[in-house]
Structure 1
Amino acid sequence: MASKPFIALATTVFFFSLIAVNHFGKPFQGKLGEMEVVPITDAVGPESVAFHPLGDGPYVGISDGRIIKWQPNEHRWISFGITSPNREGCEGKHDHETREHICGRPLGICFHETTGDLYIADAYMGLLKLGPAGGLATPIPTHAQPQPIPFTFTNSLDINQSDGSIYFSHTSSLYHRRNHIAVVLSGDKTGMLLKYEQESKQITVLLTNLSFPNGVALSKDGSFLVFAETTKCRILRYWLSTPKAGNLETLAQLPGFPDNIKRSPRGGFWVAIHSRRCKVLSWILSYSKLGNALIWVLPVDVITKAYSVMSKYLGSGLAMRISEEGIILETLELESGNKMSSISEVQEKDDHLWMGSINMPFLGVYRL
């Protein structure tokens, strides 16, 4: 008789094979063809991209818990910082997911333009700050009312450069990052959107009951922010000022699962779409009992690992630029056979798109 692990693995592979059906549907307006790749040694997943206010970089957070900085003149990466003091067994060529709760897993990163400090949303360590000299990132002291918030899955952030307030997403109170696929399959709605105020060190919960809140970006004038609700494949707009303050509305419905969001210097926002949402998965997500049944039958770690492996080959990432009113301005789709199978973030700088990924051992660079 086949062993339980074998049955579990076979079932998972079959399930995600179904998801792959119709994955490559109708093409969009543009194709992401040849791009430069900036390889990363012994690690993967440059999830988010940030440039120093003086132009240095890019800086990225990777799977072994480090923040690394690109030295363009030397064509190499250097270690800039770490998010956890526990570094034993963190570096080297191996599966970092098994130790990311110890080593840290930096996701969203953003510089404060005045101080030069790098703020980090680490999936396990919470909100962190890394000074201009780098080194060990320090936790940001916070106070939350009515009670402390356990950082189970901190994800993305953006900074109001005028007052230093940080807006960030907390994806789930039930699942950690290494089991992110379970957040989607289970229909988990324990996600939150939060605000941290520098002066009072106070965290305010802005929104609750969110389905995989992900990328966060402030509008150019700071009157609202947008964030991705990944499970529901949409971008929401939350008003911070004007008479609409406190209102939440759907800004854009998307053809796939959105990840990070960044403002474009040409206007609007770049939305990174990890992959398309196919018909089979849409049906499954309409009935959360199906996803929960799969999680009950199969170990979550097995499901997540199978998805991570298959997404490298089945990915069909998109980069979409939308206006502040949700109108699609520009869409670029990864071509079949492209080295980069999925996209986690798109950062536009000097007529180039710097593209991150959660599972690739490089950063992609595309010339506009």
Structure 2
Amino acid sequence: MCNTLKSYHIHIQTNMVTLTPSLLFVVAFLYTFVVVYGQFSIFGKIELPPRVTGPESAAFRGLVLTEGPFTTVIDGRILRWLGPSIGFVDFEYTTPTRNKQLCDGTTDPDMGPICGRPMALSFNPITGLLYIADAYFGLLVVGPNGGLATQLAGGFKFATGVDVDLITGNVYFTDASLTYELRNTTKSGFLADSTGRLLRYNPLTRDLSVVLSGLSGGGGPAVSVDGTFVLVPEINARRISKYWLAGPKANQLELLINTTGNPNKIKRAGRLGEFWVAVSVGLYPPTPFFTPQGVRFNSNGVVLQIVSFATQFFNKTISLVQEQNGKLYVGSRLTNFIGVYSS
């Protein structure tokens, strides 16, 4: 196992350009810099089974004919949606210590080390393998038929996000802290730190390396379709950075966006080079009310669209905005359903 730390440098670049009226028109026409508000105004939801809560993350299997969503829940399971006539069924669990009688339906945060708490999912579309970030059991993988997952890397305090590089097959995942666990975050007097990390696991060599350290909070990374960079959110610092994996800027980190709220998991959007991030305004520093939003942006850090989920997720934080087949799937650890928004 390789634990060599790479330095964490943020380079902020500012380009001054004089825009004439004609150039402004061309820029607006070609790149649509005007932020789009609204759309995705039709709301539906996929209910979880009785007593089950916390769809923190979701994923879909397949490139053309997709299956899912698959979702993580508080009681330690990953569930698979088989349509309205069947609903959700058990698909995977992350620890052999999990007992269905003890764990199914539990919301006790102290049961996480026994039952597991998967936080994020990412399929490798070529192999069909599902990679899981579990808050207590680190990085795991499970085959197409589900069941007990295999631990690939453990010993982490608080794994929060995962994404597969579609080009290399490498798996990037985040742990939020070296000092606190998920269950500590709900305790009075909790203080976040800046000891989070981005890690890389190579399935071929089984090497694990630390790519970035000193991150402020977790969330979930997203690798670009061409594998040239990975985006890394920092919940508490309210920013998204771009770490270059290939090309002339390889191994460099750049600040991409300073967000108005706390960014959680990032997911690739439907259009090439675009992404969605779940943002909760007012989470940290804490305010009396939260405003959940989905923010769509491009690889240059230009915000293209903001969708408010304040009506259906009133005063709740969200962790996921996943675009699939023209719909937005919204996840929160505080609900018993996955929100589905369409236009």
Query: Which TM class, normalised by the smaller chain length?
Result: 0.7 to 0.9
Alpha-carbon offset, residue 39 of structure 1: 1.1
The CA distance in 1 between the partners of 2:189 and 2:325, in whole Å, is 35
Give the alignment's TM-score, normalised by structure 2: 0.82
Alpha-carbon offset, residue 176 of structure 1: 0.5
- Answer yes or no: is 1:35 the counterpart of 2:47: no
The CA distance in 1 between the partners of 2:242 and 2:114, in whole Å, is 34
Residue 325 of structure 1 corresponds to 300
- Answer yes or no: is 1:271 the counterpart of 2:277: yes
Residue 29 of structure 2 corresponds to none
Residue 252 of structure 1 corresponds to 257
1:139 to 135, 138, 151: 151
Contact 2:42/2:342 (8 A) holds in 1: no
Residue 214 of structure 1 corresponds to 219
- Answer yes or no: is 1:68 the counterpart of 2:51: no
Alpha-carbon offset, residue 342 of structure 1: 2.9
The CA distance in 1 between the partners of 2:318 and 2:189, in whole Å, is 18
The CA distance in 2 between the partners of 1:262 and 1:354, in whole Å, is 11
Alpha-carbon offset, residue 30 of structure 1: 2.4
Give the alignment's TM-score, normalised by structure 1: 0.77
Contact 1:112/1:118 (8 A) holds in 2: yes
Tell me how large the CA RMSD over aligned residues is.
2.5
Contact 2:74/2:106 (8 A) holds in 1: no
- Inter-CA distance 337–355: structure 2 relative to 1 (3 Å threshold): closer
- What runs of 5+ residues in structure 2 fail to find an aligned partner? 1-35
- Answer yes or no: is 1:128 the counterpart of 2:140: yes
The CA distance in 2 between the partners of 1:216 and 1:223, in whole Å, is 14
Contact 1:340/1:360 (8 A) holds in 2: no
The CA distance in 2 between the partners of 1:64 and 1:356, in whole Å, is 15
The CA distance in 2 between the partners of 1:136 and 1:222, in whole Å, is 30
Residue 358 of structure 1 corresponds to 333
Alpha-carbon offset, residue 220 of structure 1: 2.1
The CA distance in 2 between the partners of 1:43 and 1:332, in whole Å, is 27
The CA distance in 1 between the partners of 2:207 and 2:57, in whole Å, is 25
How do residues 121-270 of structure 1 correspond to structure 2 at under 5 angstroms? Answer: 121-140=133-152, 150-180=155-185, 186-267=191-272, 268-270=274-276
Per-residue deviation, residues 113-162 of structure 1 (Å, max 9, x unmatched): 1111111000101111111111111112x5xxxxxx73111110111123
The CA distance in 2 between the partners of 1:102 and 1:71, in whole Å, is 27
Per-residue deviation, residues 150-184 of structure 1 (Å, max 9, x unmatched): 31111101111232100111110100012236799
Q: Which structure dedicates a bigger proportion of its chain to helix?
A: 1
- Inter-CA distance 181–172: structure 2 relative to 1 (3 Å threshold): farther
Q: Which amino acid aligns with 2:124?
A: H
Q: Bigger shift: 177-186 or 54-63?
A: 177-186
- What runs of 5+ residues in structure 1 fail to find an aligned partner? 1-27, 143-148, 283-309
- Kindly tell me the number of residue pairs found equivalent between the two proteins: 304
Q: Bigger shift: 88-97 or 215-224?
A: 88-97
The CA distance in 1 between the partners of 2:54 and 2:226, in whole Å, is 31
